[in-house]
Amino acid sequence: MTAERFTPAIPRAEAPAPAMRPGEPPPWLLVALGVVYLVALGALLFAPGGTFLERLRALDGGICAQAGSHSFYPAGQQLPLCARNTGIYLGFTSATLVLLFSRRLRADSFPSAPIMLLLGGAVAAMGVDGVNSLLLDLRLPHLYQPHNLLRLASGLGTGVAMAAFLIPVANGLLWREESAQPSFGRLGQLAVMAPVLLLAFLAVGSQSDFLLYPIAILSSAGLALALTLINLVVMLGLSNRIGRFDAWRQVFPLFTLALALALIELMALFALKTWALGQIAAM
């Protein structure tokens, strides 16, 4: 018999677990933050004491006068924001969603010069309409009779302008690699906003019953998101963490903190407003 050659088995080395990139949050932290979001949403929806709309009005009341004559009333319920602010923050949300679905949410450059002029014109139009409305409130000569639809329309354009500039500022400070992509680089990209804003205008102006909650939620979300991005920019500057992120999941913990601060700021402003009005009424 021929002796078979014996070759000892060499154990294979196990592949090392992939190392986490610098700044990568651990999975448990992402799960914990997700649970925090769910708990906060549940509290907003189901906590005792006040309806969902009343909570949104309290959240938004610190930055909005919520004047009854300047508001829309779908289903007979006053929206959490006045007509102009509903337009601003619904426009902000709409522009953010358009950038998301067009894959430009990481845009870190301002719009091109012609689009900057158009967006600047939208902001100027809101300024003119606001001054005209103020003149009427002061019983001074004014250019034309104010209307909530004009307040809404001018606010929508301003909301798009806010998103077009604020999102690139935040992105320019967040990401390690620059995309050199403008939020709205061509007129065709901005033109996509036209049907979206028209739909938003008709939705609010119709005051349809079934649109009460979608409008209230989307406009309030726009307010919270805008303030969150401002907080994020400030936090990045103060913490010297500019240009250190590669993926959205790395930003998630810092974004959550910025959002929490935004909600606290909004509630504090509402509490301050309520106290000040109480002091004035007691005089």
pLDDT, tens digit only, all 283 positions of the chain: 445 555 555 555 454 444 455 567 777 766 777 777 777 777 676 666 678 899 999 999 999 989 999 999 999 999 999 999 999 999 999 999 999 999 999 999 999 999 999 999 999 999 999 999 999 988 899 899 999 999 999 999 999 999 999 999 999 999 988 888 999 999 999 999 999 999 999 999 999 999 999 999 999 999 999 999 999 999 998 888 888 899 888 998 889 989 999 999 999 999 999 999 888 888 7
Query: By residue range, what is the domain housing residue 250?
Result: 73-282
Structural domain includes residue 174: yes
Structural domain includes residue 169: yes
Structural domain includes residue 194: yes
Give the pLDDT score at 1. Answer: 45
The residues, ordered by sequence, that sit 6+ positions from 67 with a Cβ below 8 Å of its Cβ are: 82
Structural domain includes residue 160: yes
At 175 the three-state DSSP class reads: strand
Structural domain includes residue 187: yes
Structural domain includes residue 134: yes
Structural domain includes residue 60: no
Domain count, the chain: 1
Which residue, among 204, 212, 183, 195, has the nearest Cα to 87 in the 3D structure? 204
pTM: 0.86
Check if the beta carbon of residue 233 is closer than 8 Å to that of residue 170.
yes
Structural domain includes residue 38: no
